[in-house]
Amino acid sequence: MYRLIGGKSPILDITKAQAKALEKALNRMDDGRGTRDEIVSRLSEQSELSSIIPSVLHFKVYVGMRYWRPFIEDAVRQMHGEGIRSALAISLYPHYSLATTGSAMERFHEVIREYPMESSSISSWYDHPLYIDALVESIRKGLELFGDGAEVLFSAHSLPMSIVEAGDPYVSHIQATIDEVVKKTGIKWHLSYQSKSGPVKWLAPSTEEKIKELAVDGVKNLLVAPISFVSDHIETLYEIDILYKRLAETVGMKLIRAESLNANPLFINALKEMALKKTREMGWTG
């Protein structure tokens, strides 16, 4: 599967690009001096550099992952080593689930207790206006690729039913996101879940089942919007772009995927707004 999408997952490179874009957005000056990087570059050989950096370097953005390098503990250790004393963790899962965001945030708070650092976190943002706008933009662009109209299938990462039945808010968060998108687009939509594994009962219908069902109902054009993913990786590049597209072809359907958000400026600005709001609430910024 990885060989078919270029030999590796691009998620680390994309996440680093998201971090770089967010850092640039957070440190953009309003007085015409430019971004932090532009200022530091211009002044790198001037004696005034040391005096101006503190007023420019308000934010630094790090990447920490739960199950692969750089791990969350690596990022926190690097933060502390570089003099950071206030750390805000933002989940890149828009919709909260104990199995995803919950696990990552638990690890973050566990690790950061070992350091003399203030901390806070943002665990979900499924209805943030700029996030919704970014999804709407991606869906509208995708629909334009069909000459004679299409229906939209929101494909979310699946979750074991036992977690949902225990009160996890994931499904309600997914539905709330869809509701906001539909308000702005009026699209005809459907919902399915992908990427399940193991013998336990998972959320239904699966994306495979839904594609077959829609084909029976006469749907010929289908835009798949990977709603719970903000980056391209194996689930979008292989499962949707290759596996589900092949399935759609066998049932006489044209399937196109809406672009992932990746470093979409609207998405980056959503993260920026959330970060600024939380750091002000914490009293870290003015």
Tell me the pLDDT tens digit for each residue of 203-235. 999 999 999 999 999 999 999 999 999 999 999
- Tell me the Cα Rg of the chain: 21
Strands (E), 195-262: 221-225, 254-257
pTM higher than 0.85 for the full model? yes
Q: CA 237: distance to chain centroid? A: 15
pLDDT band at 36 (very low <50, low <70, confident <90, very high): low
Rounded to whole angstroms, the Cα distance separating 37 from 83 reads 19
N-terminal to C-terminal alpha carbon distance within the chain: 48
φ, ψ for residue 189, nearest 5 deg = -130, 165
HSE of 197, CA atoms in CB hemisphere, 13 A = 3
Write down the mean pLDDT value for the chain.
92
Domains and CATH numbers, the chain: 3-125+265-281 (3.40.50.1400), 129-257 (3.40.50.1400)
**Model pLDDT for residues 240-268, shown as the tens digit of each residue:** 999 999 999 999 999 999 999 999 999 99
Q: What is the pLDDT of residue 50?
A: 42
Distance CA 130, CA 265 (A): 10
- Its sign, for the CA torsion 246, 247, 249, 250, is positive
Q: Is 261 helix (H, G, I), strand (E, B) or coil?
A: coil
